Chains A and B, each alone.
Chain A
Amino acid sequence: MILIIDFGSQYNQLIARRVRENHVYCQIEPPDISMDAIRELRPEGIILSGGPASIYSKGAPRVDKDIFKLGIPILGICYGLQYMVDSLGGKVIGSQKREYGFAELLVQKQTGFLKG
């Protein structure tokens, strides 16, 4: 099963449905889920969802950082990626140029995750 951590994105239910369309079970859980509860679900992977908050803002939602020690794949989307970067020692900055809507994606590595 895939565990989706809900950072408040309006698209969360859509991700969950996309996962299930692939015949893979998933559950959406709030960020305050305990590590014990996570282990009990025995996820094969975790998706950290997007969300409206800024990573350094007060009250920004956080999930237990021990998820990065579980040894299972983790996919971060938008806020979820920023949370991952921040948790693992990278740096997130406020963007000057915002991109809304369509932007051309230039893929630099055509293997693994971005394959096909």
Chain B
Amino acid sequence: MSHGDSIGALPPGFAVTAVTANTPVAATEDTKRGFYGLQFHPEVVHTREGKKMLANFLFDICRCQKSWSMKSFIHHAVEEIRQQVGDEKVILGLSGGVDSSVAAVLLNKAIGKQLICVFVDNGVLREGEAGRVIEMFKKNLHINLRFARAGKIFLRKLKGVTDPEKKRKIIGRTFIEVFDQEALKIKGVKFLAQGTLYPDLIESRSAFGGPSAVIKSHHNVGGLPKKMNLKLVEPLKHLFKDEVRLLGKELGLADDVVWRQPFPGPGLAIRIIGEITPERLSILRKADTILWEEIRAKKLYYKLWQSFAVLLPIKSVGIMGDQRTYENILAIRAVTSDDAMTADWAPLPHDVLARLSNRIINEVRGVNRVVYDISSKPPSTIEWE
């Protein structure tokens, strides 16, 4: 129970149905008119009673049918998209993440070749990421995919930049420029599709502003809609994240995509502390690949919210063979979380940590020390920058 005000007098027709020591009206009802009230939150009650009450309301009182499923959603969504779009062209920025991937497959089912996906290689992707996206969407799913190889542009702009916020801004801005250019090459586009989810929509118009009254910036592809006079298509805007995953599965997407760990928009740029250089990117990519392989081999990937490597801007002394070394330090980060609002560092088994350290130091030139990050969020953040 968490409330200040309480019921002084019930309206006519209402009866008390439950009390607590300090709350004379904990539950009340007027069955004749079908009005029910609770002075507590049934959705956060940890026992089964809360769930039962809600089910009673839905099925016994409101007589709802159990008709909501991702199968039924697909049917409606496909119709709706076709109606909205007609025979016009739609562009979608594909990131390889869950939301844009599921949106792409759903739109592809609805309008096929009218959908043009744009994938931007920003030069700070994980090893082989671009290839994986092309393989899956172009070769396997036959989705219309345009590929903007813009790595050099991004890296040129990031040269000499060490401030994390500046890195994020540069990457965000450059992404919009590159995406705009690519979009302008396609003639006659009328719609921009986005993988906006329901929480974004709810929070953007909440009566009280909520914790995030502004739509997240990654859902906002700059001034493109205005400049090109594009209308928005947001086929996932009434779905929660867990529903998007179910939808992806229903649409035949692999677990690999549906249960993919979140990957930040600024990519590896915020996992290299300090300046981003091609050499440092290469070191981090190799270490990241080893981490990915080991975490997956030990079947830990889906249990962890995120697992990744961070390249630090400091060097330390080591001894390899008969030689003294002076090389980079690499940090491993692995966390568990339900929603990224809070996260705990994951107690990875010692043998996994040992193997990671061993493989990274032996196989990645330029790293002679591996450390494990044992900080939770809060007070630390999941990403280092």
Contacts and interface: CB of A to CB of B under 8 A. Distances in A.
B62 to A, nearest CB: 3
Nearest to A88: B11
B162 interface: no
Nearest to B241: A17
B199 to A, nearest CB: 6
Contact of A112 (B11, B13, B29, B62): B29
A92 B8 CA distance: 5
Contact of B61 (A8, A95, A99, A113): A113
Nearest to A54: B5
Interface string B50-66: 01111111111111111
A93 interface: yes
Interface stretch (B200-208, B223-231, B264-272): B200-208
B329 to A, nearest CB: 40
B20 A90 contact: no
B7 A6 contact: no
A45 B202 CA distance: 20
Given A81-B37, A93-B6, A12 B202 contact: yes
B292 interface: no
Contacts of B41: 9, 11, 50, 77-78
A9 B67 CA distance: 27
Interface size class of A (residues with CB under 8 A): 35 or more
Interface in A1-59: 1-2, 6-9, 11-20, 22-25, 27-28, 30-32, 44-45, 47, 50-52, 54-55
Contacts of B44: 11, 14
Given A45-B58, A52-B208, A25 B5 contact: no
Interface size class of B (residues with CB under 8 A): 35 or more
Contact of B9 (A71, A76, A91, A114): A91
A113 B49 CA distance: 11
Contacts of B8: 90-93
B67 A25 contact: yes
Contacts of B21: 103-104
A19 B54 contact: yes
A32 B2 CA distance: 25
A77 B42 contact: yes
A112 B31 contact: yes
Nearest to B208: A8
Contacts of A104: 20-21
B176 interface: no
A107 B17 contact: yes
Interface string A78-109: 10111011001111111101111111111111
A74 B36 contact: yes
Contacts of A13: 198-199, 202, 240
Contacts of B208: 8, 51-52, 61
B1 A15 contact: no
Contacts of A31: 207
A50 to B, nearest CB: 6
Contacts of B35: 68, 73-74, 76, 84, 88
Nearest to A114: B17
Contacts of A14: 43-44
Contact of B3 (A78, A90, A113): A78
A45 B53 CA distance: 14
Given A18-B51, A113-B53, A105 B26 contact: yes
B22 A106 contact: no
A102 B240 CA distance: 29
A78 B58 contact: no
B1 A113 contact: no
B22 A103 contact: yes
Contacts of A108: 16-19
A95 B6 contact: yes
B57 A73 contact: yes
Contacts of B2: 98-101
B278 interface: no
Given A24-B68, A44-B63, A91-B8, A75 B38 contact: yes
Interface of A: 1-2, 6-9, 11-20, 22-25, 27-28, 30-32, 44-45, 47, 50-52, 54-55, 61, 68, 71-78, 80-82, 84-85, 88-95, 97-109, 112-116
Interface of B: 1-23, 26-29, 31, 33-44, 49, 51-69, 198-199, 202, 205-208, 210, 238, 240, 242-243
7 contacts: A1-B64, A30-B205, A73-B35, A78-B3, A95-B6, A107-B17, A113-B17
